[in-house]
Chains A and B, each alone.
Chain A
Amino acid sequence: MAKDPVAKDRAPSKVAAARPGGPATPAQLIQFYRDMLLIRRFEERAGQLYGMGLIGGFCHLYIGQEAVVVGLQSCAQPGDSILTSYRDHGHMLACGMDPKGVMAELTGRAGGYSRGKGGSMHMFSREKGFYGGHGIVAAQVPIGTGLAFAHKYKKDGGMSFTYFGDGAVNQGQVYESFNMAGLWQLPALYVIENNMYGMGTSVERASASPDLWKRGEPYKLKCMSVDGMDVQAVRAAGLEAAAHIRAGNGPVLLEAKTYRYRGHSMSDPAKYRTKEELQKMRTEHDPIDHLRAVLLEAKALDEEAFKAIDKEIKDVVIAAADFAQKSPEPDPAELWTDILVA
Chain B
Amino acid sequence: MTVQILMPALSPTMTEGKLAKWLVKEGDVISSGKVLAEIETDKATMELEAVDEGVLGKILVPAGTEKVQVNRPIAVLLAEGEKVSATNGAQSPAAPAPAVASPPVSKPAAPSPAPAPPAAAAPADEPQYSTWKTQSVREALRDAMAEEMRRDPSVFLMGEEVGEYQGAYKISQGLLDEFSHDRVIDTPITEHGFAGLGVGAAFGGLRPIVEFMTFNFAMQAIDHIINSAAKTLYMSGGQMGCPIVFRGPNGAAARVGAQHSQCYASWYSHIPGLKVVAPWSAGDAKGLLKAAIRDPNPVIFLENEILYGQSFPVPDTADFVVPIGQAKVERQGKDVTLVAFSIMVGKALKAAEKLAMDGIDAEVINLRSLRPLDTATIVASLRKTGRIVTCEEGWAYAGIGAEIAAKVMEEAFDYLDAPITRVTGKDVPMPYAANLEAMALPQVADIVAAAKAVCYR
**Nearest-CB distance from A114 to chain B (Å)?**
8
Which residues of B sit under 8 angstroms from A12, Cβ to Cβ? none
How far apart are the CA atoms of A137 and B216 in the complex, in Å? 11
Evaluate whether A335 and B431 lie within 8 angstroms (CB atoms) in the complex, with A57-B255, A122-B259, A267-B43 already known.
yes
B429 interface hit (Cβ, 8 Å): yes
A109 interface hit (Cβ, 8 Å): yes
Count how many chain B residues have C-beta atoms less than 8 Å from C-beta atoms of the other chain: 64
Of B187-195, B361-369, B404-412, the one with at least 4 CB within 8 A of chain A: B187-195
Cross-interface CB contact of B428 among A45, A138, A336, cutoff 8 Å: A336
How far apart are the CA atoms of A117 and B429 in the complex, in Å? 9
Cross-interface CB contact of B436 among A47, A120, A136, A332, cutoff 8 Å: A332
A119 interface hit (Cβ, 8 Å): yes
**Nearest-CB distance from A99 to chain B (Å)?**
16
Q: Is chain A's binding surface mostly helix, strand, loop or mixed?
A: loop
Evaluate whether A119 and B6 lie within 8 angstroms (CB atoms) in the complex, with A198-B189, A269-B46, A272-B165 already known.
no
Of B98-106, B137-145, B278-286, B321-329, the one with at least 4 CB within 8 A of chain A: B98-106
A57 and B432 contacting across the interface, CB-CB below 8 Å: yes
Per-position contact with B for A261-276: 1 when CB-CB < 8 Å, else 0?
0010011110110000
A266 and B11 contacting across the interface, CB-CB below 8 Å: yes
Evaluate whether A116 and B161 lie within 8 angstroms (CB atoms) in the complex, with A108-B104, A267-B44, A335-B426 already known.
no
A171 interface hit (Cβ, 8 Å): yes
A135 interface hit (Cβ, 8 Å): yes
B431 and A57 contacting across the interface, CB-CB below 8 Å: no
Per-position contact with A for B172-202: 1 when CB-CB < 8 Å, else 0?
0000000000000010111111000000000
Residue of B nearest to A337 (CB): B428
B32 and A57 contacting across the interface, CB-CB below 8 Å: no
Evaluate whether A329 and B428 lie within 8 angstroms (CB atoms) in the complex, with A57-B254, A122-B259 already known.
no
B259 and A108 contacting across the interface, CB-CB below 8 Å: no
A52 and B100 contacting across the interface, CB-CB below 8 Å: yes
B216 and A200 contacting across the interface, CB-CB below 8 Å: no
Which residues of B sit under 8 angstroms from A330, Cβ to Cβ? 431, 433, 435-436
A57 and B435 contacting across the interface, CB-CB below 8 Å: no
**Nearest-CB distance from A307 to chain B (Å)?**
14
How far apart are the CA atoms of A59 and B11 in the complex, in Å? 9
A335 and B440 contacting across the interface, CB-CB below 8 Å: yes
B392 interface hit (Cβ, 8 Å): no
A51 and B9 contacting across the interface, CB-CB below 8 Å: yes
A146 interface hit (Cβ, 8 Å): no
B residues in contact (CB < 8 Å) with A: 6, 8-12, 14, 32-33, 41, 43-49, 51, 70-71, 97, 100-101, 103-106, 108, 160-161, 164-165, 168, 186, 188-193, 216-217, 219-220, 253-260, 426-429, 431-436, 439-440
15 A-B pairs whose Cβ atoms sit less than 8 Å apart in the complex: A52-B6, A52-B71, A54-B100, A56-B255, A57-B256, A105-B432, A117-B433, A168-B189, A171-B189, A201-B186, A206-B189, A267-B46, A272-B164, A335-B426, A335-B428
